[in-house]
Structure 1
Amino acid sequence: MIHIYLKNIKKYFGGNEILKDITFDVQIGEKVGIIGRNGTGKTTLFKLINQVEKHDGGDISIKKDTRIGYLDQIPIFSDDYLVIDVLNTAFEEEFRILGKMRQLEVLMADSSTATLDGIMKKYSILQQEFLCLGGYEIDEKLSRICNGLKISEELKSRHFSSLSGGEKTTILLGKILLKSCDLLLLDEPSNHLDMESIEWLEKFITDYEGTVIVISHDRYFLDKTVNKIIEIEDGVCEVYLGNYSYYVEEKNRRLIEMLEDYKNQQKKIKSMEEAAKRFKDWGNRGDNPKFHRKAASILKKIEKLEKIKKPILDRRKIQVEFTSKELSGKDVVKIHQISKAFNNTTILSKIDLHIYKNDKVSILGKNGAGKSTLFKLITGEYLPDEGKILIGNSTKVGYLQQNITFNDLEMSVLEAFRSNLSVNEGEARSILAQFLFYDEDVFKKVGTLSGGEKSRLRLCQLMHQDVNTLILDEPTNHLDIESREMLEDALKDFDGTVIFVSHDRYFINMLAEKVFEIKDSKITEYVGNYDYYKEKQTQTLDLISHNQSNYIKKTVEIKEKHSSRQGKDKPKSIKIDVNAIEDKIEALEKQITLIDEDMLNNASNYAALESLQITKDKLQQELDILLEKWMNYNH
């Protein structure tokens, strides 16, 4: 059944036609991805569906009584609103009904038998509404969503107005997911989330019973969540019945087919035009109107042909090419036993790290794990509390920060670009055009630039600096898919070292040759891309689960053996206690020996070692208590 249907939608802003002819439908329960270059009208389309703005032509049909969850912009709440208050606005209807139920409960306690039946009927109706809305599951929903999005108890108790823009967006995403909606419109929902939360959101969307339409530049996310892609390009849309990977293959196939059809039609038109020209020429020579009529007939057929548009294979794209004039030495970055803490909170503890020439390295970790701290230690912005950082000979670093700032916000794009480079205006404008700054764009003040424009300008500056090592903190932020692909290709071809932090798993897969994960103030190396890292993580979890199962099994076997011995020997009660203690001591010692063996076998696997150490500590504590009991009895 169709949930939403858009037909021939048009939308103008001033004299510009943003959407020319948008036609598509979405079925109930479908998971749909909207993609397109920045500025093509994706967010505008969401506003039209949610009736925040009006369309200038066409029709939008939405299934009656559809409850829509949509985040347009960050709303303003009163200053005393806590984060938990904002989240609870998702349950306004439930709380309204609950309030009425509480009032009726008071009346029921004081009412006579004559009026009780009427009150109970009203209460029953409200209770049914409350049940249908999931009112009895509010606490469970709140806990599930907050855990998934890492909204801690401490964060819930903070004032909403004190949060950063990213934190506010995460809270409002949580609010939308808490609401009982039939249709979710999610605009870049994975922004500001760490990978663990993104993976949780992917599962949430996949399991969601309602319809979900999502705007995203996260290709990995789109692969995991959607079963239909709608691409907006030049004001029209094209529908692909699959995930992002299917879209890439199918679009390429369609373009090749369209180009072939276009060539064949052009060949046919040329042949018809030549035939018409010949008939016209014959008619002129012999003054024969029959040939003129034939020529006119052919030209009319050409005019009536439905012309196939020539597919645009080479659109305006960012043209990125990083070059390193001077090569670095073999050792680019060497870190030995460094630690760093802020306000008595340890961020990094005695970590070792070695990065070599031409390495392409991804740094992974949860938000707050210490990724940006590590970058600032490498660039010298921070000093370590202990340990050493050695930067190799001839290493020249170019650093792209996550939050891009400019010293003078009144400078133009052109002035900012030329501030550190010796290039004339003509050459500078030519270079900026490669990063989509055309004509009057170069005179925009940097303080007015969007996030994507700031990223493009900083990348343009980096490209023309004499560097052989790039340190990039979230380089794909604010870039559309096409720009991300251009950046990937440029970095793969870069004859230097790349160290980067990114939540874009597709980007990591395409570029990374090594992954370093920061977790619990430590760092672990994986020689491979993101998929390799995830495979090793799965193996680690399986190993931990297997080890725990083995310990439980061996403990049960030892207990059964001891129980059997008790049944045969039947010693005195005091002797039974001693035997039991000795058997437990023996069992615990065997389990600890097994753990020690596993720790040796997994010496390079930090996650497994951590889990094994926790288990060993618990068993050792239990063993110490039993040994003390045994010694007290024997003395």
Structure 2
Amino acid sequence: MIILQAQGVARSFNGLDLFTGINLAVQTGARVGLVGPNGIGKTTLLEILAGINPPDAGHVTTSKNLSLGYLAQDSGLTGDNTVFNEMLTVFAPVMALETRMHDLEKQLTHDASAAVLAQYDQVQHDFTEQNGYGYRAEIRGVLHGFHFDDTTYDKPIHTLSGGERSRLALAKLLLERHDLIILDEPTNHLDIDTLTWLEGYLRGYPGAILTVSHDQYFLDHVVTEVYELGPTQAVHYTTNYTGYKKQKAENLALEWKAYEKQQEEIAKLQDFIDKNIVRASTTKQAQARRKQLEKMPRLARPAGREKTVHFQFTPATTSGNEVLQVRGATVGYEAAKPMAGPIDFAVNKGDRIAIIGPNGVGKSTLLKSILGQIPFLKGSARFGTGVTTGYYDQDQHQLHWNKTVLAEIWDEHPTMLEKDVRAALAAFLFDAEDITKTVADLSGGQKARLELTKLSLMHDNFLVLDEPTNHLDINSKEVLEEALADFSGTVLFVSHDRYFINSLATSIVALAPTGSTTYLGDWDYYQEKLAETTAEAAADAPAAEAAPAVAATAYSQSKEAQRNHRKLEREVAKWEAELTRLEEAAAAVQTDMAAPAALTDYVKMQELQAKLDAITAATNEAETAWEQAAEALEELES
């Protein structure tokens, strides 16, 4: 069933079309990725689909009563509420049921009428159906997935960092369980562990998902459909990101083949016309060919061979086989608070080594310590013979904010001809207007491309890269992957981009506070080794493995005991209330039997006696039930 549909949607700015004629559909439970180059309008389209802004043309329809949640790029929660209490607001209806249920439990102690019992049963049923007994555990699970432990639960949201507030906004949206969630770059501010957790959570999410992301690995593991947004259409592919790339390349190759074949035919016809139109003996044939050419439906020139970053890294010299040795290193800013250590690994010529680890473990600090910008707390790094090092700084501190783009390059390479500087910048998509801008006025992606331009012109044989894919769109990232794969030198890089790691890394150095571990393979190999290590640990330490299971069983048993305790308390209260009612009823009948009119009315006395006998029998049954419930409650409490 289609729950959201866009038909002929368009948006323009200052009279210029951003996109037109966009058709898109989201089915129940779908997993849809929206891709396209930077500036094509992906965020703008998401805002239209989410109902935040209307389209300039076309329309968006949704199914009746659709619950839709939207997460804007780099958005975050604000306010004075604490972390946990903010998550509780999602479950306000469940909490209201919980309050009502407890109120009814109290009421049952003095009014166990059928009406009250019916109300209680319905409220308890609704409470259970809405995960009333597990919503707090659900909150804790999602918060834990986003690296919020119980020490953060009472923190006011306004005291959190921007990245933490962004993660919290996503956590809240997931807990809201909408029929459709629209996510604009949800992987921003997430480390690899959190990304892995999020992918697993989204795969099991009951609603539909529409997302924009520059994280190809995330798209591969979450989406099953891809829409590629272009200026005049959104092309639909029923596959993940890697499948989309393959299908697109195949389709593009066929389009170019057909286009080039037609161009050859057009050239032949035109050549025949030009040679024969003025000759009396062949003019009729030339005219016929001209009509044929005029009637020919022309194929549009396929896109995809222009406006693409294209560059290479070319080392001016060759290093020795041993490029870098890191031994016994500990990194950090204070000896009393080391970030990670001891760290040991070797880099040899031709290696592409990825450094990974959780946020805050010191990955960037390690690179700066290797380069001598920050001293090691312990240990050392030693470069081999003939190594020349180029560094990409994710914070872009190597750029000069007050210089123009042209001056940023030319000042470091004053002997280059201006046309060569412009050509180098053009390879990274800087046009004539861009190169006159100051660096401070560039976008994040443009700054990243400018730093890569500088790096490519240094011709070093050892590249040390700190998060080089940050701010790059997917196309630019893929060009960077190809350039580094073709690089004849050596690469050491920090990245959280698993697709990039998988495409490039020949080995991985995993950092942890306790030190480093080297894995001789790409990201998928690293994941396999982690799984093997976990399985071996489970086999070698059954007692240690049993502990979490015992804890989980104990927790489950504790919850069951609490439910039984509450149930027995209600049973005792119900029968106590029933006994009180029966006693009052018996007293009323006995009063009627003592009345003078009843004493002289045999028939009336028989009726009252029968009524009293029934009450007595009911009292005996109620006393038996009360005794059983009371004994069970006493045993549970002992």
For the aligned pair, the TM-score class normalised by the smaller chain equals 0.7 to 0.9
Q: Deviations over 1:364-398 (max 9, x none)?
A: 21222221221121011221222222233433222
Given the alignment, which residue of 365, 372, 380 partners 1:388?
380
Q: How does 1:183-582 map to 2 (within 5 A)?
A: 183-266=180-263, 301-302=295-296, 305=297, 307-342=298-333, 344-405=336-397, 408-422=400-414, 423-549=416-542
Shift of 1:153: 2.7
The residue that corresponds to 2:58 in the other structure is 58
- Indicate if the aligned counterparts of 1:276 and 1:299 stay in contact, CA closer than 8 A: no
Shift of 1:265: 4.6
The residue that corresponds to 1:605 in the other structure is none
Shift of 1:84: 3.2
Q: Give the TM-score normalised by the residue count of structure 1.
A: 0.76
CA separation of 1:497 and 1:128: change in aligned 2, threshold 3 A = same
- Indicate if the aligned counterparts of 2:101 and 2:123 stay in contact, CA closer than 8 A: no
Given the alignment, which residue of 171, 174, 179 partners 2:171?
174
CA separation of 1:498 and 1:294: change in aligned 2, threshold 3 A = closer
CA separation of 1:116 and 1:50: change in aligned 2, threshold 3 A = farther
- Indicate if the aligned counterparts of 2:36 and 2:229 stay in contact, CA closer than 8 A: yes
- Indicate if the aligned counterparts of 1:451 and 1:478 stay in contact, CA closer than 8 A: yes
Instruction: Number of aligned residue pairs: give it.
Output: 544
Shift of 1:110: 7.8
- Whichever of the two has the greater Rg, that structure is 2
- Indicate if the aligned counterparts of 2:31 and 2:208 stay in contact, CA closer than 8 A: yes
Distance 1:76 1:547 in 2: 44
RMSD of equivalent CA atoms: 3.6
The residue that corresponds to 2:11 in the other structure is 11
Shift of 1:30: 1.1
- Indicate if the aligned counterparts of 1:512 and 1:528 stay in contact, CA closer than 8 A: yes
Q: Give the TM-score normalised by the residue count of structure 2.
A: 0.76
Uncovered stretches (5+) of structure 2, i.e. residues with no partner? 547-638
Uncovered stretches (5+) of structure 1, i.e. residues with no partner? 554-635
| Residue identity in the other structure for 1:207 | G
- Indicate if the aligned counterparts of 2:309 and 2:427 stay in contact, CA closer than 8 A: yes
Shift of 1:44: 1.1
Partner of 2:367: helix, strand, or coil?
A: helix
Partner of 1:439: helix, strand, or coil?
A: coil
Distance 2:404 2:88 in 1: 44
CA separation of 1:121 and 1:49: change in aligned 2, threshold 3 A = farther
Distance 1:244 1:407 in 2: 33
Shift of 1:202: 1.2
Q: How does 1:90-105 map to 2 (within 5 A)?
A: 91=90, 94-95=91-92, 98-99=95-96, 102=99
The residue that corresponds to 2:151 in the other structure is 154
| Residue identity in the other structure for 1:216 | S
Q: State the identity %.
A: 32
- Indicate if the aligned counterparts of 1:9 and 1:58 stay in contact, CA closer than 8 A: yes
- Indicate if the aligned counterparts of 1:9 and 1:59 stay in contact, CA closer than 8 A: yes
The residue that corresponds to 2:28 in the other structure is 28
Shift of 1:162: 3.6
Distance 1:281 1:173 in 2: 73
- Indicate if the aligned counterparts of 1:19 and 1:235 stay in contact, CA closer than 8 A: yes
The range that moved more, 486-495 or 147-156, is 147-156
| Residue identity in the other structure for 2:221 | K
| Residue identity in the other structure for 1:30 | A
Distance 1:198 1:188 in 2: 12
Distance 1:539 1:287 in 2: 79
CA separation of 1:157 and 1:421: change in aligned 2, threshold 3 A = farther
Distance 2:88 2:327 in 1: 48
Distance 1:177 1:552 in 2: 30
- Indicate if the aligned counterparts of 2:259 and 2:299 stay in contact, CA closer than 8 A: yes
CA separation of 1:522 and 1:114: change in aligned 2, threshold 3 A = closer
The range that moved more, 199-208 or 339-348, is 339-348
The range that moved more, 243-252 or 347-356, is 347-356
- Indicate if the aligned counterparts of 1:279 and 1:295 stay in contact, CA closer than 8 A: no
The range that moved more, 29-38 or 253-262, is 253-262
